[in-house]
Every structure is written in C-alpha cells, then in structure tokens.
C-alpha cells in the first residue's frame, strides 16, 4: 500500500510536469522548435519530477520517523514533569526543609521550607550551585552565628560542616539565629546523592530549657515537693528541701511510701484522707500533719496534695511546708491580738476602722455605747452617718485631705451621744496607703468636753483680764487727765478766794465759791461714773438663755420717768432667743435707750426701734432712733470713757461713759458694736453677738 501511494505520487508529479512544459511551449506557436526539444520538454520534467519526488518521499519518511520519536520523547518528558510536580507538591506541604544534592554536590532540588529556614542565604540557594559555595555565602551574611566571628573560627566551622555533609553520622543541632535552632539529618544514596532534612526545633529547645529551669526552681524552693505514685503510694521523686528536712537520700526515699514519713495520722486516717484523690474524685486535698525524720524527730507541716493525670503514670504531687515557726508566730500574734483587744476595750476612746469611703469594718464597745447602736449594726454603715449633719462638709473635706505625704490629721468636732448630749471629741484620722492608693481609714476619738470647757473658761478669764487691764489703763488716763481738770479749777478758784479775803474783798467770794462747789460736784459725778464703769467692767458674765424682748422690756421699764416726760415710743420686733447675761444686756439696752431719748430735737417725741435676727452663727441686734444723729468722724471716739460731743451740760447732761459701758458689755460677750454711718435719719447702732454655749 505504501509503495502504491509512492508510485501514484510519482506519476502525478510526472504528468503535471509534462503538461506544464507543453503549456509553456504552446505560448510560442510561431517559433520553430526542433523535435529533440519537444522530446526533452516532455521527458525532462518527468525525470526531474521523479528524482524530486523520490527525495521528497524520503524526507517525508524521515520526518514521520522523527515525529514518532518526538512524540515518544514528549510522552516520557510529560510523565517525568508530572512526577516532578507531584514531588514538588508533596515536599511543599511538609514543614521540614528538604534538599537533594547530586554526586557532584550540586543542588538538584529543595523545597520552600528549606529556603525559609535559611532565609538569609535564600538568594544563593539555586539549582546547580554547589553546597560549599552556598555555605560560604551563608557565613558572609551571618546565617550561622555558631561559626564565630573570626576568619579562623569560621574556616574551622566550615571544614567541620563539610565533613558532616560528606560523611553524615547522624542528626545534629545547628544554630541559625539568636533563638532559632534546627535539627539537620543527611543521608547518602547508592547513586551518591545526598538528601537533607531540616527540622525547626527552637520551640522544643525552649520547652526543654523551661522544663530544666522549672526543675531547678522546684529543686531550690524551700517547700518540700514530692511525687507519689497512686498505684502503690511510693515516693517517686523528692526535691532538696524534702531530702534535707527528712534526712534521707533520694534513693532511700524512693524505697519509702508516704505513710512511712507521716506521724501525724494513723495509716487508716491517712488512707481515708487521701482516698478521694487516689480514686480521682477530688483534684486537691489539704491536710495538717507531722513528718517523721530519719532520726525519729518530728515537725508540724501543712501538705497540699494534687492529682496529676497528664503524665504517663498517674501521680500525686505533694507540697509540704514546715509550719513549726509559723505556728509559734501565729500563736504569738494571737496573744498580742488578745492583749490589744483587752487594751482597746479598756481605753476610754472611741475607735473605728473603715474602708476609704468610711464604711465601718470595726468599732469598739465605747463607740457603740456612745451612739446607742449595737456593734453589729454599725458594721457596714458609714461613720459619717453617726456625725452631726452640720459637721459633714468639714469632715468630708478633712478625710479627702489625707495624702501619702500627710496620712494623719487631727480635727475637733462636736458629737451627740444616744441621750442627745453634746460632747466635744478630738479625732485622730489615719489613712493607710498601699502604693499610693488608700486602703483603710483608722480613727480614734477622745472626749475633750471637759478640757474644752476648761479652755473656754481660761479664754473667758483671759478676755475678762484683758478687759480689766484695758479698764485700768483707761482709769490711769482718766485720773491723770480728766480728774485733774476739776481739781485744777477748784485750786484756781480757791486761790482767788484766798487772795480776795486777804485783800478784804468780799464782792466775788460767793461767785468763786459757787464755781468751787460746781467743780466739786462735777468731780463727784465723774468718780461715781468711774465706779459704775469699773464695776461693770470687772463683772463676770453669767450666761443663760432668754428672750431678747425680756431684756428690752426691763430696760424700757427702768427709764419709765424719762419715757413719760419725753413721750418716747418703742417699737420692739425681737421675739428671739439668745444666750447672754440678761443683766448686762438690760444695762446695755438701757444706756442706748437713754441716749436716744436724751439726744433728740426739742419738741420731737423720740422714736426708738429695735430688731434682731440670726445671721449665720451670730445674733445681730439693731437699735435706731430719730434723734440728732452722730457725725461719721466721731463713729469710733464716741465709745471712749468721758467722750462728750456736746460740752454744754445744760443742754445735754451726762458723764460721757454710756456708750463706753455699752462697748464693754458687748465685748465681754465676745461681740462688737458699731455706728451705722449710712443711716441719716438719726443714729443707728449694730450689735453682733456670737453664738455662745452654756
């Protein structure tokens, strides 16, 4: 069949060539062409076509053979590539680094994990490159910190690594970073290929290191640590503290059971105690017992047993602590605590402990007795609840001011006991701080009521003494100045009388004598006024509670004659309770009313108004009239002794000590009196008295 197709192709080619020649010659009909040329034209294409077709047929056959060979080679290559791809896919899925080097030690294959492990050398890890050159590149980029830093150390390391590569003897560790380690395994095949496996063991080494550190810690701790088998109760392991305290070696302890070293309980008791943990019913058991040493002595200890199920063999880990000294210390603390509680019970002070927000955690019996609330009911309450309402702002501010730099402060505050009695307490508040944060408030209060009363008495006596000293100084000035004037006038008129008598003149004797009498009377009035002033200045203040209107009525009644003569009127709006000396207050108001009646224009009926109110902690009393008034320039001098603004005694009689006595009374109560200079319709005086306690 193949030869038939070949012959047919040749015939067709020959016919085609002949026809082509005849067509060409027919294009030249007028040309005379010899017969040999016609024959050549017919035969020559056929001959040429034959040889050409033979060549083409041969080439076609060669191409067919080549194509078949190529198809077979392509099938083989495709199968090989598929296998290689499968191999690459397989190696890419594992975390280990894999490499293959040929008999010339050149890299044939490596997976991505291999390049990731040798990340610093990744650019030099190329197929066809020899192992030694890649190793030197790694040294240059610092891939192998274990190789050292000097050229000598690195060369020695390189030779050792090459020797292991050529003649592997087993796995070894290689450091490739500060905290990175790999395990290298290399194998040589029969074809002298080298296969390498790299495994990252950094985490394993870290765990191993931590386990070793933990082992060192357990070995070094002061507590006794035991591992006990749940199967037979034998001691599997024990740390140094256990071996030292029990005086056994580790080998000796491994031959003992937990019951052999226990002396605080019988075997039956211990079996019952640890049965739940051995059976797995409980994870942890705590017991107080005694351990017996090798020499027979014992010591008290507290043991914590914990079951461990995560090991190959279930064991119990026991933590034992020698508590001999601790128990002695706890007993000592307990004794001290009892002594302290006895001391606290016998102290007269009130004592409390509270959270930083003042929530009470402890109060002593004295505090509970003072408030009338049982101790158990006070616990959990805030001690601000047991303080007077008027003290809360000051007390809260006081507590907030406690700082780590100034954790303790004192404050005096009034308290009311269960009977409603007011008592003064000196509180010592201590805020305990831990790392700058408040953790507890300790308060101790001492009743200082009697001491405070004594201080108030002393302060009162001091004020009275100051007033008396002031009065004495004024007496000295008055005697040296004011009393000298009438005496000097008496002396002058007496000398004039003497001269007239010596000269026998009698016409002016009666006149001079009347002057002497008048000066003597004036002096007598001054002395009487001074006596009244001194008596009032030295008088002690006796406090009592009364309605101010009572003192006003008494003062007005004492001036009934002057009131009737002057047709004076009083407007009283003082239905207010005050604490003061009622007699002194009556004298004060009487002097002021007398001045208001005296210093009035002729023909004008005096109008006097009195009002009072409480402003803060003070009582303010206002007395005003419709009189002639007082100039602002005299607002202070009018309160001096014998200070008179009107020398004409025939118009405005008096000794000039009325307002001085008023100031003395007010000051004896710790208050003030002043002229209101803004008032223009007469005179207005403002008296301020502080709140006084009996």
Q: What is the DSSP letter of 234?
A: B
- Cα pseudo-dihedral 402, 403, 405, 406, rounded to 10: 0
* CA–CA gap between residue 345 and residue 364 (Å, rounded): 7
Q: What is the pLDDT of residue 156?
A: 93
CATH 3.40.50.720 fits 93-207, yes or no: no
The answer to which of 65-79, 247-261, 511-525, 531-545 has the lowest mean pLDDT is: 65-79
What average pLDDT does the segment 590-598 reach? 86
Partners of 685 in the beta sheet? Answer: 623, 675
- Strand 577-580 to 544-547 pairing: antiparallel
* CA–CA gap between residue 158 and residue 672 (Å, rounded): 106
Whose CA is closest to 234, among 278, 293, 292? Answer: 278
Q: Which residues, other chains included, contact 540 with Cβ-Cβ below 8 Å and sequence gap of 6+?
A: 464
- Assign domain 221-328 to a CATH class: alpha beta
Tokens linked to 469: 């000293």
Q: Where in the chain is the domain with CATH 3.30.450.20?
A: 93-207, 221-328
The answer to which of 146-155, 159-168, 203-212, 411-420 has the lowest mean pLDDT is: 203-212
pTM: 0.36
Q: What is the DSSP letter of 541?
A: P
Tokens linked to 122: 């990744």
Please check whether residue 610 is in contact with residue 572, taking contact to mean a CB–CB distance below 8 angstroms.
yes
- Assign domain 541-690 to a CATH class: alpha beta
Q: What is the 3-state secondary structure (H, E, C) of 83-111?
A: HHHHHHHHHHCCCCEEEEECCCCEEEEEC
Whether the per-residue pLDDT at 648 is higher than 60: the answer is: no
Whether the per-residue pLDDT at 598 is higher than 90: the answer is: no
Owner of token pair 């490499």: 99
Banded pLDDT at 3 (limits 50, 70, 90): very low
Banded pLDDT at 451 (limits 50, 70, 90): confident
Banded pLDDT at 2 (limits 50, 70, 90): very low
Please check whether residue 262 is in contact with residue 292, taking contact to mean a CB–CB distance below 8 angstroms.
yes
**DSSP secondary structure string for all residues of 577-596:** EEEE-HHHHHHHHHHHHHHH
Give CA 668 to chain center in angstroms: 52
- Strand 350-354 to 315-322 pairing: unpaired
Banded pLDDT at 105 (limits 50, 70, 90): very high
Q: What is the pLDDT of residue 165?
A: 92
Banded pLDDT at 46 (limits 50, 70, 90): low
Q: What is the DSSP letter of 390?
A: G
Torsion over CA: 157, 160, 166, 170 (sign): negative
Banded pLDDT at 640 (limits 50, 70, 90): confident
Q: What is the pLDDT of residue 4?
A: 46
What average pLDDT does the segment 551-557 reach? 89
Q: Where in the chain is the domain with CATH 3.30.565.10?
A: 541-690
The answer to which of 37-41, 143-147, 185-189 has the lowest mean pLDDT is: 37-41
What average pLDDT does the segment 387-408 reach? 89
Q: What is the pLDDT of residues 317-348, one digit of tens each?
A: 888 888 888 888 888 888 887 777 777 677 78
Torsion over CA: 638, 644, 646, 651 (sign): positive
Mean pLDDT of the chain: 80
Alpha helices in 93-175 (DSSP H): 112-117, 131-140, 151-166
Please give the residue that has the higher pLDDT: either 526 or 625: 625
Banded pLDDT at 628 (limits 50, 70, 90): confident
Whose CA is closest to 597, among 629, 568, 631? Answer: 568
């Amino acid at each position: 069949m193949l030869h038939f197709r070949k012959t047919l192709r040749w015939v067709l080619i020959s016919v085609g060539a002949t026809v082509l020649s005849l067509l060409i010659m027919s294009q030249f009909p007028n040309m005379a062409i010899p017969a040999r040329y016609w024959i050549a034209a017919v035969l020559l294409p056929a001959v040429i076509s034959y040889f050409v077709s033979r060549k083409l047929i041969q080439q076609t056959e060669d191409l067919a053979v080549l194509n078949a060979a190529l198809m077979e080679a392509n099938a083989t290559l495709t199968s090989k590539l598929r296998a290689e791809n499968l191999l690459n896919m397989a190696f890419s899925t594992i975390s280990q680094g894999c490499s293959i080097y040929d008999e010339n030690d050149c890299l044939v294959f490596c997976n991505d994990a291999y390049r990731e492990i040798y990340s610093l050398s990744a650019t030099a890890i190329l197929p066809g490159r020899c192992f030694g050159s890649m190793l030197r590149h790694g040294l240059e980029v610092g891939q192998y910190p274990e190789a050292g830093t000097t050229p000598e150390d690195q060369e020695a390391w390189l030779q050792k690594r090459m020797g292991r590569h050529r003649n592997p003897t087993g796995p070894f560790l290689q450091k490739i970073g500060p905290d990175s380690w790999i395990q290298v395994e290399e194998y040589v095949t029969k074809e002298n290929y080298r296969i390498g496996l790299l495994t990252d063991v950094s985490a394993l080494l870290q765990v191993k290191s931590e386990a070793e550190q933990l082992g060192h810690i357990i070995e070094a701790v002061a507590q006794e640590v035991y591992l006990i088998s749940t199967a037979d109760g034998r001691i599997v392991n024990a740390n140094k503290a256990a071996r030292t305290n029990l005086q056994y070696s580790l080998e000796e302890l491994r031959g003992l059971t937990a019951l052999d070293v226990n002396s605080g309980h019988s075997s039956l008791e211990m079996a019952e105690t640890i049965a739940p943990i051995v059976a797995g019913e409980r994870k942890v058991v705590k017991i107080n017992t005694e351990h017996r040493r090798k020499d027979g002595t014992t010591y008290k200890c507290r043991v914590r047993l914990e079951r461990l199920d995560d090991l190959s063999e279930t064991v119990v880990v026991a933590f034992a602590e020698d508590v001999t000294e601790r128990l002695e210390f706890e007993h000592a603390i307990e004794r001290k605590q009892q002594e302290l509680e006895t001391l606290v019970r016998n102290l007269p002070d009130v004592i409390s402990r509270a959270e930083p927000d003042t929530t009470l955690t402890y109060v002593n019996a004295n505090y509970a007795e003072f408030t009338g609330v049982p101790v158990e009911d006070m616990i959990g309450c805030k001690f601000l609840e047991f303080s007077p309402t008027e003290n809360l702002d000051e007390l809260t501010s006081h507590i907030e001011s406690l700082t780590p730099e100034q954790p303790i402060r004192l404050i005096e505050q009034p308290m009311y006991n269960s009977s409603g009695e007011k008592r003064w307490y000196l509180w010592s508040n201590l805020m305990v701080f831990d790392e700058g944060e408040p953790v507890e408030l300790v308060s101790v209060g001492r009743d200082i009521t009697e001491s405070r009363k004594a201080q108030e008495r002393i302060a009162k006596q001091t004020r009275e003494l100051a007033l008396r000293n002031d009065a004495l100084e004024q007496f000295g000035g008055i005697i040296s100045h004011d009393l000298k004037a009438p005496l000097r006038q008496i002396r002058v008129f007496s000398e004039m009388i003497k001269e007239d008598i010596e000269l026998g003149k009698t016409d002016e004797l009666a006149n001079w004598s009347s002057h002497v009498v008048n000066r003597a009377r004036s002096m007598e009035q001054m002395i009487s006024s001074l006596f009244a002033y001194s008596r009032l200045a030295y008088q002690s203040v006796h406090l009592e509670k009364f309605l101010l209107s009572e003192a006003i009525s008494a003062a007005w009644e004492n001036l009934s004659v002057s009131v009737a003569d002057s047709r004076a009127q009083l407007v009283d709006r003082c239905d207010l309770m005050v604490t003061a000396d009622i007699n002194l207050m009556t004298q004060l108001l009487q002097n002021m009313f007398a001045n208001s009646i005296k210093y009035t224009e002729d023909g004008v009926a005096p109008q006097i108004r009195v009002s009072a109110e409480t402003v803060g902690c003070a009582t303010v009393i206002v007395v005003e009239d419709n009189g002639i008034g007082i100039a602002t320039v005299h607002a202070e001098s009018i309160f001096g002794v014998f200070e008179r603004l009107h020398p004409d005694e025939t118009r405005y009689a008096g000794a000039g000590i009325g307002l001085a006595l008023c100031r003395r009374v007010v000051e004896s109560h710790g208050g003030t009196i002043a002229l209101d200079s803004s008032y223009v319709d007469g005179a207005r005086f403002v008296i301020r008295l502080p709140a006084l306690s009996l």
